[in-house]
Structures are given as C-alpha cells and as structure tokens.
C-alpha cells in the first residue's frame, strides 16, 4: 500500500510538545515512523506524552526556550542523542488578549520572546550544517490572527504575523540548502490554551465565536495532519507558504 505521508527514519524536534497541538503532532509523527524529540517546560506533562508515542528513540527535554543563551547547548544535546534534525516544529507559544490601553512593554516582550524570538533563535542554531539534514522541513505554528485582525489581540497577532513574514524570508535564505520553511495558521482549536479563553467569556460570546467557524472548532489532530504532510517528502515543492487550517473562519 502507498503511504503518502511517510516519516520513517526522520528525526523531528517539536517545541510545545507537552500540550495541545505540539503534543498531537508528536504522537502522529511517531505513528508515521519518526523519532521525536519533545521540548516543554513541565516534566510531568512531557512524560505523559512520551508514554503515548509509538516506536522507540524518543526523548524529552524539560526546558524554557526563552533561556536564549542555553539553546545552543540544548540543540547539541538533541543532535547528540537522536542524530541530525529532519524536521523542526515550533508550536510553543502563549496567547494574550489585552486592549492596547492595557499593553505595557513587558507584555510585548513576553509574547514575542516565546512566539517569535525563540522560533528564530532555534532555527538559526538548528540550521547550522552539523545539526540539520538535507531537505529538512521547518514549520512555525502561527495563527489566523497573524493574517486577520481581532480586537484585543494586538501583541499576540503581531507576534504571529512576524512568524509568517519571517518564514518567507527564511524559505528564500535556506532554499539553497534544500530546507523548506512554512507556517500553519489555525483558527480556534480545542486545547488548554483555547479552553482558558472560552471559559473566561459568556455563553453568548462563545456561540458567536463558534458561528465564525463554519465547520465548528478544530481539534489538535486537524493541525497535526497538515504538519505531518509538511514534514514529509510529499510536500517537497512547498516552501514559504502559509497553510490556513481554520474550518472556514477566513472564508467570509
Ligand atoms: N489552540 C488554538 O486555538 C490556537 C489557534 C491558533 C494558533 N495556536 C498556536 O498553536 C500553538 C500551540 O498552542 P496550543 O493550543 O497547543 O497551546 P497549549 O496547549 O497551551 O500549549 C502550549 C505549549 O507551549 C509550551 N510553552 C509555552 N511557553 C514555553 C516556554 N517558555 N518554553 C518552552 N515551552 C513553552 C507549553 O509547555 P508547558 O505546558 O510544558 O509549559 C505547551 O507545551 C501556539 O503557538 C498557539 O499560539 C493555537
């Protein structure tokens, strides 16, 4: 039988792998044959994910990736243990809903450090020749609000938009090495992050948000399926694009 998405013998490094979308990408890519390196801050959650992975050769790293000075050492340990990196997914991120009048410089710093700077610093280190294999694939989990506006999301949206524009530059810069860089832009996906938002608003507001998603809210597996495709050789001619996976949110 022909498998369109085959990740056998690939080593995939995933940030935000302890929860939600990153966790689902880790589980799916292991099912498709990959060895997976998981990064997150919470050991207990990482251990749970590790136990759900299929196959052998998976490791987790309990690490705050906004400790920028230690990222070189982190990537060296990952490569030493599991070999050259064939795929990198930056799913780690934080959400922030705050109107402009309540935004202070430290809020921008918090959101940008994890959502964009950690992504770019890790990409810089990973794409050194001795860390990455030929024809590797890099994916940044952005957001539909990186493209479309939403009141109260200025800091978050700006950080996610930055991932989209940076990925286009990187796709050009890294094409000579055969490395592809793409972004995935989800609308609302049911994870810890979105449940926190939904729990903090009225039933009426929740229904209004639901109505903006013609196919309903997404599941983490909807994003993982696209990520697995973008990590696989089946997408070898796709780079510098944003994959909108939003249940129809942006169609209207
Ligand atoms: N869910 C949605 O509706 C939605 C929509 C659009 C885009 N996104 C984006 O999708 C990505 C994943 O979101 P999610 O819904 O899966 O969220 P989530 O369940 O809250 O997971 C976030 C992940 O990021 C990790 N993380 C946060 N700060 C970190 C740090 N400083 N160092 C290392 N890891 C850190 C967390 O690790 P620990 O828990 O171990 O601390 C966790 O694994 C995010 O970038 C988010 O912006 C989500």
pTM comes to: 0.98
Q: Whose CA is nearest to atom 34 of ligand 1?
A: 40
Distance CA 252, CA 244 (A): 14
146 lines ligand 1 (CB under 6 A): no
Residue to mutate (ligand 1; options 17, 20, 244; most atoms within 8 A of CB): 20
Report the chain's mean pLDDT, rounded to a whole number.
Answer: 97
Q: Which residue has the tokens 């060296």?
A: 76
pLDDT < 70 regions, the chain: none
Task: Say if ligand 1 is within 6 A of residue 154 CB.
Answer: no
60 as an active site residue: the answer is: no
- Classify domain 11-187+227-239 at the CATH superfamily level: NAD(P)-binding Rossmann-like Domain (3.40.50.720)
pLDDT digits (tens, 9 = 90+) for 142-181: 999 999 999 999 999 999 999 999 999 999 999 999 999 9
Q: Where are the beta strands (DSSP E) in the chain?
A: 11-15, 35-40, 59-62, 85-90, 132-141, 180-186, 242-245
> Residue 129: what pLDDT?
78
């Amino acid at each position: 039988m022909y498998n369109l998405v085959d990740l056998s013998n690939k080593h995939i490094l995933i940030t935000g792998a302890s929860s939600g979308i990153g966790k689902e990408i880790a589980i799916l890519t292991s099912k498709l044959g990959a060895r997976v390196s998981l990064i997150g801050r919470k050991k207990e959650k990482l251990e749970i994910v590790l136990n759900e992975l299929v196959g052998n050769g998976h490791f987790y790293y309990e690490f705050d990736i906004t400790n920028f000075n230690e990222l070189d050492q982190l990537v060296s340990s990952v490569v030493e243990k599991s070999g050259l990196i064939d795929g990198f997914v930056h799913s780690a991120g934080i959400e922030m809903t705050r109107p402009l009048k309540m935004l202070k410089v430290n809020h921008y710093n918090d959101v940008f450090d994890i959502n964009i700077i950690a992504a770019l610093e890790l990409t810089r280190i990973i794409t050194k020749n001795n860390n990455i294999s030929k024809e590797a694939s890099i994916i940044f989990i952005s957001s539909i609000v990186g493209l479309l506006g939403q009141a109260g999301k200025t800091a978050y949206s700006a950080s996610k938009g930055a991932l989209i524009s940076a990925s286009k530059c990187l796709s050009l810069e890294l094409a000579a090495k055969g490395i592809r860089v793409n972004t995935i832009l989800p609308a609302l996906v049911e994870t810890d992050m979105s449940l926190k938002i939904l729990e903090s608003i009225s039933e009426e507001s929740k229904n209004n948000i639901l109505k903006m998603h013609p196919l309903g809210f997404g599941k983490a597996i909807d994003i993982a399926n696209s990520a697995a495709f973008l990590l696989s050789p089946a997408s070898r001619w796709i780079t510098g694009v944003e994959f909108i996976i939003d249940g129809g949110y942006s169609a209207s």
